[in-house]
Amino acid sequence: MNDSFHVYDTTLRDGAQQEGLALSVADKLLIARQLDGLGVGFIEGGWPGAIPKDTEFFRRAQTELDLEHAQLAAFGMTRRADLKAADDPQVAALRESRAPIVTLVAKAHDRHVELALRTSLDECLAMVRDTVTHLRAEGQRVFVDAEHFFNGYQDNPAYALEFVRVAAEAGADLIALCDTNGGMLPTELGDVVRTVIDRTGARVGIHCHDDSGCAVANSLVAIEAGATHVQGAANAYGERTGNANLFTIVANLQLKKNMHVVPDESLAEMTRIAHAISEVTNIAPHTKQPYVGFSAFAHKAGIHASAVKADPMLYQHIDPAIVGNDMRMLVSEMAGRASIELKGRELGYDLSGDREALTRIAERVKDLEATGHSFEAADASFELLILDELNGTERPEFFTVESWRVIVEQRENGTQGCEATVRLHAKGERIITVGEGNGPVNALDTALRNAIGQLYPELAELELTDYKVRILEGDHGTDSRTRVLITTSDGKNEWATVGVQENIVAASWNALVEAVTYGLLRLES
């Protein structure tokens, strides 16, 4: 981890405050692994003690997250007014999270202290000093988020500067200056950051929101002014108009400012990671997102065509492969090969010497994506596709499906029941089984397990842990094409598979069959 400059992700806490975004603990663990793969230094996991789900996240993270690059940060407030930090239950929850970093938020705007906290400026500073000192003595590293700092500086610069001094003197590693309302413009913000550093000597960071459309620009200006810590959220998630886009900031710093903030090999995974997180959050990716958007390097036929054919860089500011993206105008065998080769290597397949296989895989991926498939968060489905296309490699066939059906019954007492029938062949046997469930997918899962459970007893270790549905063609109403993403666990690892059909049950069945096939493949390897 580079401690001279911090990339700090807030997706799991601040980003999760976006309207319509709801993350389970399993979702947060999946996203944390993706962010660690990007190479960020810190991942803010949530607010233990205040939100039970976040308390559970930190508990599970101790045994389920093996982070290579990042450290977890627990977010919380300073102690309450007129209470010792050692006696405050919220501060205790931060200690008990066992996170190596605690990020404390406190009011740096005098009006917020007086109107929201209903206490004095001196007491607010005492709350900061006492809480930072206490947590440092308990062995945790402390960052302080100076909430509403820029508005506070405009109204009462003396208090805002004293806030920074007190936090630094108490032992905070840094103070992140927050444009909480997102209304600052770059020139004014940069001047304030420069002044704060000059007058306090403290290490400062920057945390921006995008209400004026300047979150990324404000973050970059703050760094030029001396900030050595930057906060942002994946895909610009966050309440109102969102947080500063972490991916855009990282790419700009690394590619435009020559700052080595994440590993180069991780930068090449950025597009895949951005889309994988979109699949977990179940929010459609923003196609025009810089660097990682589907349209970021898309060239339409017309005046650009001949120039791009002569030299793609005539209409591109970087080579898209650097961030794992593709120039979509290309329809030759080269389209998508770089990202497929990278992803294959991550999954343990060296495709670099097999151009024919790369071409077949790229063409098949493009064909499937045209029908609505997405492999960004469905590594297991993508690995099965690789096995299908590799020369000399046969994908194991544990069973073949003859047919299936589901009956949904509405009973007189108002309850519903589902019954599924599956006909398949496995190990030379033709098997017909029935399964019941609380829904069609559960019934199909039960029937499939009943059919092959005795032949493959290891199937009992597999559990469906998550199920997401996305409507791909909303203008078609109930006739829309549907994508289903299923997450399965064997108790140690999780994997995701995808299915796409007009029929939601058929899409679910396809994803379910791939989940079981991949699980059996893992268990037998």
Alpha-helical regions (H) of 335-432: 337-346, 355-370, 379-389
Q: Which residue has the tokens 């995008």?
A: 210
Q: How far is CA 14 from CA 109, 152, 181, 405, in A?
A: 19, 21, 13, 44
How far is it, in rounded angstroms, from Cα 304 to Cα 310?
10
What is the pTM for the complete model shown?
A: 0.70
Using alpha carbons, select from 21, 22, 18, 20 the residue that is nearest to residue 240.
18
Task: Give the neighbor-by-neighbor strand order of the sheet with 494-501.
Answer: 463-471, 482-489, 494-501
Give the SS3 label for residue 94.
Answer: helix
Q: Distance between CA atoms of 287 and 208, rounded to whole angstroms?
A: 22
Let me know if 52 is exposed, middle or buried by CB neighbors in 10 A (0-12, 13-18, 19+): exposed
Instruction: Single out the residue of 144, 64, 158 nearest to residue 110, CA to CA.
Output: 158
pLDDT tens across the length of the chain (525 residues): 678 999 999 999 999 999 999 999 999 999 999 999 999 999 999 999 999 999 999 999 999 999 999 999 999 999 999 899 999 999 999 999 999 999 999 999 999 999 988 999 999 999 999 999 999 999 999 999 999 999 999 999 999 999 999 999 999 999 999 999 999 999 999 999 999 999 999 999 999 999 999 999 999 999 999 999 999 999 999 999 999 999 999 999 999 999 999 998 999 999 999 999 998 998 988 889 999 998 888 765 445 545 665 677 777 889 998 999 877 543 223 345 666 776 777 788 888 878 888 888 888 888 888 888 887 778 899 889 888 888 655 667 899 999 999 999 887 887 888 999 999 999 999 999 999 998 999 999 999 999 999 899 989 989 998 898 988 865 455 557 899 999 998 888 889 999 999 899 999 999 999 999 999 988 876
Domains recognised in the chain with CATH numbers: 6-262 (3.20.20.70), 364-396+461-525 (3.30.160.340), 399-455 (3.30.160)
Residue 463 structure tokens: 């559990």
CA 258, 319, 235, 384 dihedral sign is negative
